[in-house]
Structure 1
Amino acid sequence: MSKKERRSYDKSFKLMAVELHRSGKPAGTVAKELGIGVDMVRRWSREYGVHDTRSFPGNGKQDLTPEQKEIQTLKKALQEAEMENRILKKAVSIFSREDNKCSGS
């Protein structure tokens, strides 16, 4: 069995394919002209329709709005604070158990 090499396309190529498709050419025709799959043209067009200029950031990176970046940062800070809180609760319970052992009860 041979492994297919995964091809990658840059943002300008994807935008060109989307523009051709949006200009009225069928996805099958665009795909055949560019040598790519029909599903890719449809997926890129759908993604462009949803994200517009933030489409195709590259290499799995998300192109977030400033508000989305702030939300992501705040969520990360909240998770860290919750983890610290859990650790401190465990530490308090461990130290309170050790205090009872030393008290001679």
Structure 2
Amino acid sequence: MGKTSRKRYTREFKLSLIRELESGKKLGQLSRENNIHPNMISRWKLEYDKDPGSAFKGNGNTYKDAARNEELERLVGKLYAENDFLKKALNILEKRVQEEKERSKAG
């Protein structure tokens, strides 16, 4: 199987979770709803509390980018298999045409 990478979330997503926390939503509930470990959400909250202006200014891939990459990799694999199948089919047809030519010359 392929390399497993960590999920990356956008700044906007992290800020939306922090806003929900600040509005009174429970950490455990946020964690379950978004399938994110509570420690991660707490870490984001601490980072935001230290310096709201510069929190989450990473340049990594987002989770959506990773999902799109996986989708494209599956498509590439499918296209490789399809291409291989078509090459084999063409080879078989070329052999049949060659055999027909040889039969018509002999007959």
Normalised to the residue count of structure 1, the TM-score between the two structures is 0.50
Displacement after TM superposition at 1:19 (Å)? 0.7
Structure 1 residue runs without a partner (length 5+): 61-105
Residue of structure 2 in register with 1:46 after alignment: 46
Displacement after TM superposition at 1:5 (Å)? 2.4
After the TM superposition, which parts of structure 1 deviate over 3 Å for at least 4 consecutive aligned residues? none
* 1:49-94 deviations in Å (ceiling 9; x for gaps): 111121100137xxxxxxxxxxxxxxxxxxxxxxxxxxxxxxxxxx
Matched to 1:12, the amino acid is E
Partners of 1:40 and 1:59 in 2: how far apart? 18
Normalised to the residue count of structure 2, the TM-score between the two structures is 0.50
Residues 1:59 and 2:59 are matched in the alignment: yes
Residue of structure 1 in register with 2:17 after alignment: 17
Structure 2 residue runs without a partner (length 5+): 61-107
RMSD: 2.0
SS of equivalent to 1:52: coil
Displacement after TM superposition at 1:3 (Å)? 6.1
Q: Percent identity?
A: 36
SS of equivalent to 1:15: helix
Higher RCO (CA < 8 A, seq sep 6+): 2
